[in-house]
Amino acid sequence: MNKSVRDRRVQYETAGLDLADLAPDPFAQWHRWYEQAEEAGCVEPNAMVLSTSGLDGVPDSRYVLARGVTEAGFEFFTNYESAKGAQLSAVQHVSALFTWLQLHRQMKIRGTACRMSAAESDDYFSSRPRASQVGAWSSPQSAVLADRAELEQRVAEVEARYPVGSTIPRPAHWGGWRIAISEAEVWQGRPSRLHDRFRYRLADGANPAEPNAAWIIERLAP
């Protein structure tokens, strides 16, 4: 018989996390955990739940894939005219959450999203598989479709426009966002719900993109 959601309890027996275990900045810490998640076989270890402010003020969330993580921020690519694109154009503040459940870990980031440059978006678009490039042209992401056939018709039109062998340019409506972060939190599950949590925050006025920006790290109650 299935265990009810109410009674399902997993003891987190993984090794704990101490201040001395942490990288001095959240970017290096993310890379450390990402590599360990890859080694542990976590599915889509670069997937993050991106939360934005809906145009109606209600928060909105969805997964996107992080495609770059540097001191400048966390990068992802999408349709600028999608729901999230319209929301980010209105309110740049975001939160995003990585979860590596096999390792009983999550990492939260909070910050401000800005569009990446056209050159950066072109560069990434040109590295994508051809079918994904066709998809970026074909899908009016987040718009209502009459049926699946409408999408397939759009794909056929794009494929006819760009025969195999031709270069597919990046659509102007598709590109990258970079989240410059002001805060991050790492969470490691421990037994009896006495988890380890540490928050990275910048001292007032500090710029995270500056080399050796000083991050303040504090332990939080679980």
Ligand X SMILES: Cc1cc2nc3c(=O)[nH]c(=O)nc-3n(C[C@H](O)[C@H](O)[C@H](O)COP(=O)(O)O)c2cc1C
Which residues are CB-contacts of 167 (< 8 A; sequence separation ≥ 6)?
A: 126
CB of 29 to ligand X, least distance (A): 22
Of the residues 14, 53, 139, 142, which one makes contact with ligand X according to CB under 6 A = 142
Catalytic residue among 8, 193, 199, 201: 193
82 binds ligand X per the rule CB under 6 A? yes
210 binds ligand X per the rule CB under 6 A? no
The smaller minimum CB distance to ligand X, of residues 29 and 99, is found at 99
CB of 92 to ligand X, least distance (A): 15
141 binds ligand X per the rule CB under 6 A? yes
The smaller minimum CB distance to ligand X, of residues 140 and 162, is found at 140
Looking at residue 165, the DSSP 8-state letter turns out to be T
Q: How many residues bind ligand X (CB under 6 A)?
A: 16
Of the residues 11, 31, 59, 63, which one makes contact with ligand X according to CB under 6 A = 63
Looking at residue 193, the DSSP 8-state letter turns out to be G
Of the residues 32, 62, 93, 115, which one makes contact with ligand X according to CB under 6 A = 62
Catalytic site includes residue 193? yes
CB of 111 to ligand X, least distance (A): 17
112 binds ligand X per the rule CB under 6 A? no
The smaller minimum CB distance to ligand X, of residues 49 and 213, is found at 49
121 binds ligand X per the rule CB under 6 A? no
Q: What DSSP letter does each residue of the chain carry, written as one string?
A: -PPPGGG------S----GGGS-SSHHHHHHHHHHHHHHTT-SSTTEEEEEEE-TTS-EEEEEEE--EEETTEEEEEEETTSHHHHHHHH--EEEEEEEEGGGTEEEEEEEEEEEPPHHHHHHHHHHS-HHHHHHHHH--TTS--S-HHHHHHHHHHHHHHS-TTSPPPPPTTEEEEEEEEEEEEEEE--GGG--EEEEEEEPTT--TTSTTPPEEEEEE--
Applying CB under 6 A, the residues found at the interface with ligand X are 44, 47, 60, 62-65, 76-79, 82-84, 141-142
What is the set of active-site residues?
A: 193
